[in-house]
Amino acid sequence: MGKIPIAIIGATGIVGQQFMVALQNHPWFEIYRLVASERSAGKNYREALYHDGIFGWYCDEGLKEELLEMRVISMDEFKPRDVKIVFTALDSSEAKVIEPKLAEKIPVISTASSFRYFDDIPILIPGVNNEHVELIRVQREKRGWEGFITPIPNCTTTGLAITLKPLDETFGLEKVLMTSLQAVSGAGRTSGVLALDILDNVIPYIPREEEKVQRETKKILGRFTGNSIEFSDVQVSCTCIRVNVRDGHTESVFVSMKKEADVEEAKQAFRTFGKSLRELNLPSAPKEMIVVHEDPSRPQPRLDRDTYDGMATIVGRVRKDEALPNGLKYVLLSHNTKMGAAKGAVLVAELLSKFGFIEGF
């Protein structure tokens, strides 16, 4: 089997750069087209990374010379049928217009929020809600598309949903209270957070973030009924805070369960979670979906965010909570631009390939 040609739309942004890293040596997929705005179109990738004379490569990893030399094109020049999958890393206002046009012809795996809340569109996390892929067939039939749109969750939802799933399976969820401490890269480059606002500071408000996390968590943990998703009835309430960290969202989570929650049983549920993902042998999957620390000073973004190349959710400080009925509390860390964005979207593409949704695989 030859490699499957793919395109990255929004290739020069924060998430776009992580897509380049996640795909440059991928065993199944080959980067075939790079698309960005008119600002970058016509330049090679290296030139397009300059903003006001400053080279804006943000990832720790380097990039192959041939990719730095690759020409960036505009949407007008891009022909969807040249590739088999499109990964989009666009602002939601751009994604809202661009993604449906592409989905008429080919699969679109999106990091934007524009289509997450439609009834016929799943929000996929491999290993958590694999069965929701079937909603793609409903979507195609309803919209008459040859392709489809599958968004990944908001980067703050990802780690929360991954850790809640084994707790739901073991004890049943009633209520979740979460406070996040979110990295600066989560705001992207274009709209971004000004250095002057975040240095030496904490900002207790991220526009629209809390509503997204609350809604997405209930959908991801919901049940696929055959033609739609019945949302989970868990109540989720959160506060999202921006902190002066480059990558890695930390979240302090309090959960009230249907049954009494034993701490050791909860840790065991975390540690063993992910069987349905491991069995698929996907190239971007972490060896363990959840890594549990006993050291009360973990997880820390600098120490732990790159575990399994940023694809694991790291949990620590698992304790009983006496204030909530059947309460448990813990701290989690999830890499927002790897599992929470680009490489997480690549993992979705791998899942869809295995499940027969990608032509040529």
Q: Which residues are catalytic?
A: 155, 249
Residue 186 engages ligand NAP in binding (rule: CB under 6 A): yes
- Find, among 19, 178, 42, 139, the residue nearest to 88 by Cα: 19
Residue 340 engages ligand NAP in binding (rule: CB under 6 A): yes
Looking at beta carbons only, is 189 or 271 nearer to ligand NAP?
189
Q: At its nearest, how many Å lie between ligand NAP and the CB of residue 38?
A: 7
Tokens of residue 63, six digits: 């990039």
Among 47, 94, 265, 306, binds ligand NAP (CB under 6 A): 94
- In the three-class reduction of DSSP (H, G, I as helix; E, B as strand; rest coil), residue 189 is classed as coil
Q: At its nearest, how many Å lie between ligand NAP and the CB of residue 9?
A: 6
Tokens of residue 154, six digits: 């908001």
Cβ atoms within 10 Å, residue 281: 9
Among 91, 174, 265, 309, binds ligand NAP (CB under 6 A): 91
Here's the x/- map for ligand NAP, 188-217, by CB under 6 A: it reads as xxx---------------------------
Residue 92 engages ligand NAP in binding (rule: CB under 6 A): yes
Among 5, 24, 37, 243, binds ligand NAP (CB under 6 A): 37
- Give the Å distances, CA to CA, from 339 to 125, 141, 150: 9, 30, 15
The b-or-e profile of 38-56 (16+ CB within 10 A means b, else e) is eebbebebbebbeeeeeee
CA 23 to CA 59: how far, in whole Å? 13
Q: Which stretch binds ligand NAP (CB under 6 A): 5-13, 101-109, 161-169, 295-303?
A: 5-13
Torsion of CA 55, 57, 62, 67, to 10 degrees: -80
Residue 290 engages ligand NAP in binding (rule: CB under 6 A): no
Return residues touching ligand NAP (CB under 6 A): 9-16, 35-37, 39-40, 75, 89-92, 94, 111-112, 155, 185-186, 188-190, 336-337, 340-341
